[in-house]
């Protein structure tokens, strides 16, 4: 991780900590993890997201998937593999 990525991750973690309405416990940890891990807005294989969440942060797949519903994450299938990324800033979804 570069210094910029570390600072960005810390800013996200601080912002999450300030929100009173955010869930506590593993769900809150999963929210912070997803925003930090996907902060670069690049596509990441879902298996890598889940592996990192479990092995490094001790988060269950259930907690990560629940947190995913509260974060603006795009999902895409490329071939036989699924990928996640944070929706890039300025990208809007038309209904």
pLDDT tens-digit series, residues 45-74: 999 999 999 999 999 999 999 999 998 999
Token pair 């570390």: residue: 6
- With b for 16 or more beta-carbon neighbours within 10 A and e for fewer, the 3-27 pattern comes to eeeeebbeebbeebeeeeeeeeebb
Give Cα separations from 32 to 36, 92, 94, 95 (angstroms): 6, 22, 27, 28
Q: Compute the average pLDDT of residues 78-86.
A: 96
Task: Report the predicted TM-score, pTM, of the whole model to 2 decimal places.
Answer: 0.69
User: Is the confidence at residue 37, as pLDDT, over 70?
Assistant: yes
């Amino acid at each position: 991780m570069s210094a910029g990525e570390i600072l960005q991750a810390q800013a996200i973690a601080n912002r999450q900590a300030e929100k009173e309405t955010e869930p506590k416990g593993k769900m809150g940890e999963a929210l912070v993890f997803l925003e930090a891990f996907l902060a670069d807005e690049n596509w990441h294989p879902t298996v890598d997201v889940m592996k990192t969440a479990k092995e490094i942060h001790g988060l269950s797949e259930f907690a990560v998937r629940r947190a995913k519903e509260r974060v603006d994450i795009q999902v895409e299938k490329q071939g036989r593999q699924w990928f996640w990324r944070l929706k890039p800033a300025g990208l809007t979804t038309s209904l």
